[in-house]
Amino acid sequence: MTFKKFALAAGLFAATIGFGSAQAADISGAGATFPYPVYAKWADTYKKETGVGMNYQSIGSGGGIKQIKAKTVTFGASDAPLKPEELAKAGLVQFPTVIGGVVPIINVPGLKPGEVTLDGQTLADIFQGKITKWNDEAIKKLNANVNLPDMAIAVVRRSDGSGTSFVFTTYLSQSSKAWADEVGAASAVEWPVGLGAKGNEGVAANVGQTQGSIGYVEYAFAAQNGMSYTKLVNKDGQIVAPEAANFAAAAANVDWANAPGYYVILTNEPGATSWPITAATFILVHAKPDNAADVAEALKFFSWAYDKGDAAAEELHYIPLPDSVVANIKATWAKEILGADGKPVFAAN
């Protein structure tokens, strides 16, 4: 699918599911662009099955966190998980939905998807403006048999508060002391260089239109738009491609049951096949919601997605959560999300 077609599909989703005109029964949410393709797919199928629509604003994780804290939506969505103490302070419950991968995308004439390999240090130096040409010695050293052009690198990065940026800058901080000391890891940082774009959609569009460019997006955006991506050298020193099996490898040893608030970071995980910029994406709801009936509807939707949405997630290169984790999440809902009467808004099966 071309980016133009993908954008058109997104617009169609907005119109039919109710982006700007939610009906009374519709579920309202806002936040991360990382999971937008799978949430759109799930919402379309769920609407056909139940008649209940999804009014989801794909505005970035920062916006989603702000809106759920302000109680202007039923749920917020973020790829940057909130720490347990922040959840407690805001009266929120957090849970993951799917796992995916953030991938560097490039637009360099003559270079095919996966033909170029980078490592974390080199990627950090590019996004810090220290490497400015595609035939720089550091890139050539990693790509001895690749014909790298004498072309300037145009960096494209997020301009909004972004969980994808949190994941990406966390990886850069783990890979480069200079990046960690001078820029750091956050949903919004002071980028040393680059053209800002809003959302994964905006980064994909800008890279697609700019020769010599490099950006970073959730893998579904790269795959659906036929974009050229790089391979990476992982923590074990192995060259790996952004593939579902490698996202799964990075998440294989996560102990979700013993992670308070499901706070898990999956970047730079060990393992021969682990993709080093892997991430989960999360939903936020109020523990004692004013709109208990609306939250119940949202949890019914995510329960349905866990039970029936795996195939759609896999088609879009996301990794569904194991059944044991889903069971823990539903138990968390029943225990921690309570109505005004003190009773759970969701009854675990």
E strands, 115-238, where? 117-118, 154-158, 195-197, 213-218, 228-229, 231-233
pLDDT of residue 224: 85
Q: C-alpha angle 229/101/44, rounded to 5°?
A: 105
Contact (Cβ atoms closer than 8 angstroms) between residue 132 and residue 170? no
From 14-28, 141-155, 227-241, the region with the lowest mean pLDDT: 14-28
Q: What is the pLDDT of residues 115-157, one digit of tens each?
A: 999 999 999 999 999 999 999 999 999 999 999 999 999 999 9
Structural domain of residue 122, as residue ranges? 102-261
Q: Are residues 117 and 212 in the same domain?
A: yes
Q: What is the pLDDT of residues 40-51, one digit of tens each?
A: 999 999 999 999
Token pair, residue 248, equals 């799964």
> Do the domain assignments include residue 284?
yes
Q: Are residues 109 and 243 in the same domain?
A: yes
Q: What is the pLDDT of residues 158-178, one digit of tens each?
A: 999 999 999 999 999 999 999
Mean pLDDT calculated for residue range 257-262: 95
Nearest to 233 by CA among 120, 106, 111, 105: 120
Q: Are strands 117-118 and 231-233 parallel, antiparallel or unpaired?
A: parallel
User: If you write DSSP's letter for every residue of 80-117 in order, what string do you get?
Assistant: SPPPHHHHHHHTEEEEEEEEEEEEEEEE-TTPPTT--E
Q: C-alpha angle 141/142/147, rounded to 5°?
A: 80
> Do the domain assignments include residue 96?
yes
Q: Are residues 190 and 240 in the same domain?
A: yes
- Domain tally, the chain: 2
pLDDT beyond 80 at 19: no
> Do the domain assignments include residue 175?
yes
**CATH code (residue 193):** 3.40.190.10
Q: What is the pLDDT of residues 58-96, one digit of tens each?
A: 999 999 999 999 999 999 999 999 999 999 999 999 999
Nearest to 200 by CA among 182, 224, 218: 218
Contact (Cβ atoms closer than 8 angstroms) between residue 313 and residue 98? yes
Q: Are residues 94 and 144 in the same domain?
A: no
Q: Are residues 196 and 121 in the same domain?
A: yes
Q: Are residues 176 and 248 in the same domain?
A: yes
End residue of a domain, out of 261, 293, 315: 261
- Host H or E run for residue 78: strand 75-78
Percent above pLDDT 70 for the chain? 92
Q: Are residues 122 and 257 in the same domain?
A: yes
* Alpha helices by DSSP H, 183-291: 199-209, 219-224, 244-251
Distance in angstroms (rounded) separating the CA atoms of residues 166 and 143: 28
- The 10 Å Cβ neighbour count of residue 163 is 30
- Which residue type sits at 328? N
Q: Are residues 253 and 331 in the same domain?
A: no
Percent above pLDDT 90 for the chain? 89
Q: Are residues 77 and 186 in the same domain?
A: no
> Do the domain assignments include residue 267?
no
pLDDT of residue 347: 78
Q: Are residues 120 and 201 in the same domain?
A: yes
**Residue 158 CA to its chain's centroid (Å):** 13
pLDDT of residue 53: 95
Q: Are residues 142 and 249 in the same domain?
A: yes
pLDDT of residue 9: 37
Global pTM value:
0.90
Distance in angstroms (rounded) separating the CA atoms of residues 268 and 121: 12
- The 10 Å Cβ neighbour count of residue 319 is 22
pLDDT beyond 90 at 2: no
Q: Are strands 92-107 and 319-320 parallel, antiparallel or unpaired?
A: antiparallel
> Do the domain assignments include residue 347?
no
